[in-house]
């Protein structure tokens, strides 16, 4: 398991370096060094969604039953980045800007990468955290492994200077991961945590 954790952490670091490069930030490691730190708060979580058989209300109906129910409710991940791998059972859905939910086709040979709240703050809203949920189905278990890339608790979270301009002022005030984590636990799962850290100029993001 330790070998897998090191591998996905390396993948997360590589992706974050590419994000910094794509945003023209001179220091490519500005994001990735937060999870390379020995005191990183990153975790690997194993999830099991057992089958949840549902009974049709109308046994004589020719319409199929709804074969899924919520296994983990709508939310965004508070960390920097999430790297997810699952078996061949569907269930993950992401929310689009218009509020529509789109299922993610399961592929056990691929990773699903979600932007977290901290990356949204550190890119000053250029990358937006993904709201998603997990559904169960009635006939087969869903298994997933999620690596949540997080900084040390005392890490200062703020957009680098290159991300803040007169036409794109800072959307969020600086905060530590410990402060943000405390807010996460104080709110309900689906609540917007970044909203607590917005500056006055931000009216639409987070």
DSSP 93-129: EEE-TTS-EEEPPP-TTS-EEEE-HHHHHHTTTSS-P
> Which range, of 19-23, 52-56, 102-106, 183-187, averages the lowest pLDDT?
52-56
61 assigned to some structural domain: no
Per-residue pLDDT tens over the stretch 156-170: 999 999 999 999 999
Looking up residue 179, the CATH number of its domain turns out to be 2.60.120.330
203 assigned to some structural domain: no
Alpha carbons within 13 A on the beta-carbon side of 135: 20
126 assigned to some structural domain: yes
CA 67 to chain centre: 25
- pLDDT of 80 reads 98
Select which of 9, 142, 193, 198 is catalytic.
Answer: 142
Catalytic-residue membership of 156: no
Q: How confident is the model at residue 61 (pLDDT cuts 50, 70, 90)?
A: very low
User: What gap in Å lies between CA 154 and CA 144, rounded to an integer?
Assistant: 29
- Mean pLDDT, residues 81-110 taken together: 88
- pLDDT of 159 reads 96
184 assigned to some structural domain: yes
Range of the domain at 98: 2-53+67-197
- Mean pLDDT, residues 175-179 taken together: 97
Q: How confident is the model at residue 82 (pLDDT cuts 50, 70, 90)?
A: very high
Question: Structurally, how many domains does the chain consist of?
Answer: 1
205 assigned to some structural domain: no
Report whether pLDDT(112) > 90. yes
Report the b/e string of 82-116 with b at 16+ CB within 10 A: bbbbbeebbbbbeeeeeeeeeeeebeeeebbebbb
60 assigned to some structural domain: no
């Amino acid at each position: 398991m330790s070998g897998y954790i090191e591998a996905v952490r390396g993948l997360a670091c590589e992706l974050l370096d590419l994000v910094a490069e794509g945003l023209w930030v001179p220091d490519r490691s500005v994001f990735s060094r937060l999870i390379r730190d020995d005191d990183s708060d990153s975790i690997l979580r194993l999830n099991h969604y057992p089958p949840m058989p549902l009974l049709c209300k109308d046994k004589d109906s020719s319409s199929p039953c709804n074969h899924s129910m919520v296994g983990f409710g709508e939310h965004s991940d508070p960390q920097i980045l999430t790297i997810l791998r699952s078996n061949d059972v569907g269930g993950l859905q992401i929310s689009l800007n218009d509020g529509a939910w789109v299922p993610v086709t399961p592929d056990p040979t691929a990773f699903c990468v979600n932007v977290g709240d901290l990356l949204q703050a550190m890119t000053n809203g250029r990358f937006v955290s993904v709201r998603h949920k997990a559904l169960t189905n009635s006939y087969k278990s869903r298994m997933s492994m999620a690596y949540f890339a997080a900084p040390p608790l005392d890490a200062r979270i703020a957009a680098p200077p290159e991300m803040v301009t007169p036409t794109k002022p800072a959307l969020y005030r600086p905060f530590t991961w410990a402060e943000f984590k405390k807010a996460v636990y104080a709110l309900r799962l689906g609540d917007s945590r970044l909203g607590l850290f917005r500056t006055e100029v931000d009216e639409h993001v987070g």
